[in-house]
Amino acid sequence: LDDDDLLAKRRAAVAQLNNVAAGYRNSRVQYTKDVWNPGQKFQKYFVPPQTATGGGGYFPQMFDRFFGLGGMGGGNNYYNNYFANPWLYGNPWIERQADLYSSATGVTQAGSQVMAIQAQIDEIDARLLDTRSIAPFDGVILRKRVEVGDTVQPGTPLLTYADTSDLQIQVEVPARLMPGLQTGMIVPATLDVGDKQVNARISQIYPLADPQRHTVTVKLDLPRGIPGGPGMYAEVSFPDTSVPVTNLPVIPTSAIIWRGSLPAVYVVNGDGDTELRLVRLGEQLDTNTVAILSGIRAGERIYSNPPPGMNSHWSKRPASNP
């Protein structure tokens, strides 16, 4: 955003601050001078004008004034008149305190002016910060929502910014699966990049379900350093507590034969013959084993590493690795 106008106002405010700061320092110097070195004001407080140049000097005349030396009609009649009628001739100590109070008031007013100008500068600085958008973390701009010259209002999003070092998966989970999920739970996930399998941790479960789709939004944290980035797809497996627990057979991945897009295995049936069965794959437990959801039962014999060219009725020939 254009900040030339604000910068000009700030320079003017700084110049004004320098002026009032100089006045503030001068008022403090004057106050200190009035306290410790009144100068000509000393004559005003303690020496009557008609005797200021007398032979006795200031200090003898000062004591004459307060102690009332001389008779009522003598040369020090000025001092005696003060004690006789202080309302008419004034109190020198009160006059001094009044002058000091006035000087201190000037110091306070000058300090208030400095604070007022500094507040104006702080306000301008706050507005200058609004002309720049500073990201609170390192990340990547995913989408730019405005162009140069566009008119924007307060609250208008300028861009979409994301921290790509900490990725999350957001999925819509059917409401029937929610009883088996909780925050902090680890579930397996398969990324769209290279079919990489990782463990994801459930970080957030939304408290409300979608009334139309009957799903609940769930967010999962992914480990750092995984391949891919924002926008990629992932497949997540959640347990279904409504289904009775069954023992699934686990076979080596080397036993799986692909017929197009369908997985199959060679099984030795009860007659000792070899037959090819299509199976439904479940969760891959590690790089070497996978669970079978349907197609074979626990206890059946399979070929863990069928040789090339193997087909049904292979058992008619000598089998070496059932």
172-191 confidence digits (pLDDT tens): 999 988 888 999 999 989 88
Res. 245 pLDDT band, cuts 50 70 90:
low
Mean pLDDT, the chain, integer: 78
Residue 83 predicted with pLDDT over 80: no
Degrees (nearest 5) of the Cα angle 104, 108, 113?
Answer: 145
pLDDT reported for residue 298: 84
Structure letter (DSSP) for residue 223: P
pLDDT digits (tens, 9 = 90+) for 33-60: 878 877 666 656 555 555 444 444 444 4
Token representation of residue 78:
């000025």
CB of 249 closer than 8 Å to CB of 292: yes
pLDDT reported for residue 91: 66
pLDDT reported for residue 56: 47
pLDDT reported for residue 216: 93
Burial class, 234, CB count within 10 angstroms (exposed 0-12 / middle 13-18 / buried 19+): buried
pLDDT reported for residue 322: 44
3-class secondary structure, 174: strand
pLDDT reported for residue 89: 53
Amino acid at 25: R
pLDDT reported for residue 54: 47
pLDDT reported for residue 184: 92
Determine the Cα–Cα distance for residues 143 and 160; give it in Å rounded to an integer: 5
Its pTM stands at 0.42
Token representation of residue 169:
């998966």
The DSSP secondary structure of 253-320, one letter per residue, reads GGG-EEETTEEEEEEE-TTS-EEEEE-EEEEE-SSSEEEEEESS-TT-EE-SSPPTT--TTGGGSPPS
pLDDT reported for residue 186: 93
CB of 223 closer than 8 Å to CB of 198: yes
Residue 302 predicted with pLDDT over 60: yes
pLDDT reported for residue 68: 45
